A and B are shown apart, each in its own frame.
Chain A
């Protein structure tokens, strides 16, 4: 039955399942889950004996607690025995786990575990003393004789070899009888009596060593050494039974002082009026040394060794003060500093150690000499901590209470002790922030590059399109050639019709396409802009620049061939879209401007055309074949360096005129000369441009009729 129950209990423990609480009450107590003692009913002794329980006794009354502890100990012993034989089955296993868990918990709270080891020999001894007698006692003695004591024994034998066998034998006989006597009495007499026995023994040995004839040849120093060694050896051997004996509540005191110190973590040097500067690196190192020394007290066994640890700690404290204030260190400064160190060290089993030393250290050592003084100071520090009140820290009661309850927390200078560490921490945080920003920066850069690539691709694409269109343009020009060469009417007529489309009719139809085409053209300058300023361009500004550089780009990009293409495009587009029928005037005018500086022969016929658009145009075409031949040559030139003339104009014009002006001006430049360029423009926007002529052909007739009825008629 115990097997399944115990199995479930552990689950209940883990989940703190209160439902299980009542039914499995008893077994849960065995596992000692403190968090389950919430219920008011549990204030009474868990055994249900009617007496009130005590939190210190795990909810039992004093009597039941003793029984319980005894039981637990017995079980544990049994467990240890069973673990080896291992034929107990699962029930034992579950219990084992229960106990290990229990042990673990204990260990976490304090370093109590030694108590259990300690209790082992004691337990055995009592039973053996009753049952069997002396031989077993020696066995117990052997057990408690830990390796350290054995080591000391061999050390003694080798160190004092020169003293001769007699003295050594006497020493060992004395010490062994000492140990035996104490062991016999450990469970019978209270600790204080044991302490008295030990002190008497020390004194007896002192008188013996000073009076016994055997020791007469031994020098005073060696005698003192032997006395010390006796103390060291016996106490090391008896450590397990004399340190924090089970008959006392030393352990509870340890817990309470530890808890107390933990509650007082907020106390800093300033509260104690102590001049330890917590920020100095040197001082901090020394304080840590002091803390280490104090913590070391628990790890050594003999009282004088423990005292030595205290002395070392206190010397470090003195050194700390020396560093902080200079000059000799008086008790006024020393005690607060020591209290501070004790508070920060919170040594394990502090109280047990102090009590052990006071009980079993040789009185004369404790009451005199530096060690005694420092030990007294340590006692004072502990006493001060135990009785610490708001008054002793010179702070208002309310503040003290709020500190104790955790309402208020200090920027505990010691925890953030480490101002440097704090600084480092901040530094690291900032660094990571910077890294983060950098990463984001890089990603933005990458995105930017991607965008640029896209733009370049787009540019290439458009370039390709343009070039393809340009390639296709010669086809358009060819008919011109044929016209010029053959002077056939039909070809000329088609040409004219095309012109008409270009200039007048198709505008409405084309407008949509043209406007559409505008957008890529607008992008061009952006790309160029980016290229130029790539290095110093800030990412956020990119979007903003998209629009603003638009105007700048015209000036900036003129030297660039690509940009020119783009620009020419822009010009074409806008020009056409903007141009309406009335603009034929502008077309007529601008050619003038353009051609006036260039070839000398053309200006004459064009300029008149410019003044009267429709009428003058008529004579232009029929005027003469040679003239047209020259015109035909021109487009070829233009084709070859399509940009060149335009460039000149652009550079000239951009300097003086606004964008709008340019737009008006530039298209006219291209359009006028042979009138062919108009066709090229159309083809340039899209391949549909070619189709358009067929459609407008019809409309073109109307337009041509409406606007230039004369021309169409004449051509036909």
Chain B
């Protein structure tokens, strides 16, 4: 049974599997190695994902959802048309699409997957990702950090390495950095940092701005200010597409040209743009943004308690790392060349596939790896302290520090603060080592875990041991034991803020199945309708009317999303066509 490796990205997703001990990418039904993470309710009310949804986005912006990954782990409801979805449900549609594509590609049923997430994803975000997998009908074997996945892909190719490596991941919309220790067959993530609002798309925007500046300088009018609204939209689309091309060209050429013939007509004159930008000019424009990434690199190195010269190898992943300046900045920082033998767009999915294969033992003994990941946040509870003789609540007391290797268990003993206190509320907070006080933003549970039935006693006499456990999937378990009675209360944080309950997951699963079937049916029907229209063109007038009526009835049933009715009317239409053809 194949375990699918899925890189569930902000802008694009990818999947891989292990074949004969080697990871390989899986293409989707359109033959693409990556699938845009775009979700949409189309004109006919069908739910579509991927390139088709992306292609229709500009006409249906209110019915389209982009970058849902940024909302994972929140309780925000996303309204698409008249239906509202949770972020998990939308992600589940991507996963269902990938699962289906993998099944078509491999010719077997897929029920398990390893899904990657950014290293800085919180517990709630990880849990939401896991739930999305469950809704899609996938048992999520493991939630894996993206840089860890890349390191795994690297580790498999270099099984005898004993090194400290940096995984620098600059994707379309996010940046992620990890320090990883590779010790023969052991991979240990020592520290992670990142910025989830920095990526290649920001660089495209800077290039569009540059073109607009050149234009304003030459013609003394803003590029996107004149003409009909539709003309401006077209103009912007052309410049943006050309900016992407120019950015890509500048990775291999020393200069590139924005060649935009007849881009606009201004004051009766046709305007063609022909601006050449050198790589040096491009680098001047994007340098400040790229240098920001080095701040995060420093943080990760510091957290890993390493000096830059202790880094042996640099792995660059994410499409934007093809930009030479990115490579130069990182290489200058560590005074060594970056490794170029990994495809930056595919390493994460390949690593996830290897992780999946480790579980199902489809990798040989020699190439099997052990992965140790780290806790991305500091976890603790809130306590009351005596400050200047006064009781003050809301202090952050740390149980698990950031970058502790996983799984990690931490225990601390707390005591009652009031006479005859019979309950203690345990709040769970997710912060940083520097946080001294808790606030609502750091809280990760809707309600605290309540430890009750504490025997009545004098203040400070009753003690409660609290245990936090953070597992390899980044999920938190809490246990509290009243030491005098041995009473234990434990809770896996499944009722976190913004996280769906088990019942909701079950309902969402059924709903997704239903939506998926309807959409699948509708797209199958498109082919039937196309064939019917072809027959209608050559049919006798009377028959053409009959076909038209049957098509209309089928289209009505599709709009009503009545599966049974669609099937009945499809049958009627096909019977009619058969009759006419015979």
Q: Are A and B co-members of a single complex?
A: no
Residues of A within 8 A of B (CB): none
Residues of B within 8 A of A (CB): none
